Amino acid sequence: MQTLILLYYDIGLMVALILLGPFFLAKKKARAGLWQKFAHLPNSFEKSLPARQQTVWLHAVSVGEFTAVLPFIKVFHAHYPNKKIVISTTTETGNKLAQERVGDFASVFYFPFDLSWVIKKVLDIVRPSIVFVAETELWPRFTHECARRNIPLVLLNGRISPRSYQSYKMFSFIFGPMLKSFSLIGTQSKVEAQRYETIAGEKLKVKALGNLKYDKSLSLKVSGQATELKAVQIYFC
């Protein structure tokens, strides 16, 4: 059933992209990173990646999501300076901010469209050892392909609004399996952790870790004492 759902999803997304093509071409902001979103990454980006599967990929849609997880990125880099970090964003403003704030140690690119062939090509290029996703980004094809390749997925600063919660519950047959693909879901509150559990079941690997954006002590705990850092140490220790 999941294979059939993903097939219909691929077809629907492709049709939507074709219909929205004129909009992407007409609007400057929509055109930003369009070539990269179809898996055509710059040669300089590809050359910056290690030969083996040692890249850490963090995705943050735009300015708000990136700002929220920036403390984590800095602590992670301080704790694992030898790990190659790549940051993907969806918007132009998010891309520019990421380059300004972490461009000295991380490579920044645009997140690909969630089409099977696009996702597979980008994953072949990046070869991540782990993927961190900020806040609310759930992409069926990307999640499925990471799970198929046994790439650990971690949701950072997870949140789910009451409105989104109702939609996710309605389509729990789609979102439930997606959430179960995550090795860890770190939420901003216990309420949101319970919402994720209601959608995907009690066996979901979810923990209320607080809001990274307001954890002022996080940047000082490079030794690994921060709860959020402990949550990912199982992959790197």
CATH topology of domain 52-233: Rossmann fold (3.40.50)
Alpha carbon distances (Å) from 189 to 92, 159, 193, 206: 29, 8, 6, 11
Nearby residues of 203 by Cβ (< 8 Å), 6 or more positions away: 180
Q: What is the predicted pLDDT for the residue at 228?
A: 45
Burial 130-149 (b: 16+ CB within 10 A, else e): bbbbbbebbbbbbbbbbbee
Task: Place 72 in a pLDDT band, splitting at 50, 70 and 90.
Answer: confident
Q: What is the predicted pLDDT for the residue at 4?
A: 86
Nearby residues of 216 by Cβ (< 8 Å), 6 or more positions away: none
Q: Which alpha helices (DSSP H) does 20-139 contain, by range?
A: 21-26, 28-31, 34-37, 43-47, 63-79, 92-102, 116-126
Q: What is the predicted pLDDT for the residue at 215?
A: 61
Q: Token digits for 218?
A: 């996080």
Query: Please, which residues bridge with residue 133 across strands?
Result: 59, 155
Q: What is the predicted pLDDT for the residue at 195?
A: 94
The structural domains of the chain, with segments of one domain joined by +, span: 52-233
List, as one string, the DSSP characters of 155-193.
Answer: EEEE---HHHHHHHHHTHHHHHHHHHT-SEEEESSHHHH
Mean pLDDT of 177-206: 91
Spatial distance between the Cα atoms of 46 and 127, rounded to a whole number of angstroms = 11
CA neighbor of 87 nearest in space, from 119, 126, 34, 136:
126
Q: What is the predicted pLDDT for the residue at 222?
A: 37
Q: Token digits for 4?
A: 């059939």
Does residue 89 register a pLDDT over 50? yes
Chain centre distance of CA 1? 25
Spatial distance between the Cα atoms of 62 and 29, rounded to a whole number of angstroms = 12
Mean pLDDT of 100-119: 96
Mean pLDDT of 101-111: 96
Mean pLDDT of 99-108: 96
Mean pLDDT of 4-33: 82
Catalytic residues: 65
Is pTM, for the whole model, over 0.85?
yes
Q: Which residue has the higher pLDDT, 140 or 224?
A: 140
